[in-house]
Amino acid sequence: MPNYHKIILNGQVYYRGFDETTGYYEDEMLTEKELVERLLEDAIGSIIEIDKEVIERVINCIPSSFQREMVQNYINYLEAVVESLE
């Protein structure tokens, strides 16, 4: 993955990839929005979608109330951990 250099051209901000191994710039210049999109595409390995309604239905299908409560407590714990990291 190249490093990006910020280039200000006639007051407009662009970014251009620079390959340190070759010492050359990439062909295209990117706007900040395009650069962020490209970096996110490279950084995100997968997308995970969570439907809380489905999770609640599945938890309610667990026959044992003790196990249902244990699963719900664990989910609450995980949500608290995620919130503390934000």
**Domain range summary for the chain, segments of one domain joined by +:** 3-43, 52-85
- Tokens 């990117």, located at residue: 30
Distance between CA atoms of residues 68 and 12, nearest Å: 57
CB of 31 within 8 A of CB of 46?
no
The string of pLDDT tens digits covering residues 27-78 is 999 999 999 999 999 899 898 898 999 999 999 999 999 999 999 999 999 9
Hey, what's the torsion of the CAs at 80, 70, 48, 4, to 10 degrees?
Answer: 30
pTM beyond 0.85? no
- Tokens 């990006």, located at residue: 4
Does residue 1 carry a pLDDT above 70?
A: no
Q: 3-state class of 16 per DSSP?
A: strand
**CB atoms inside a 10 Å sphere around CB 15:** 20
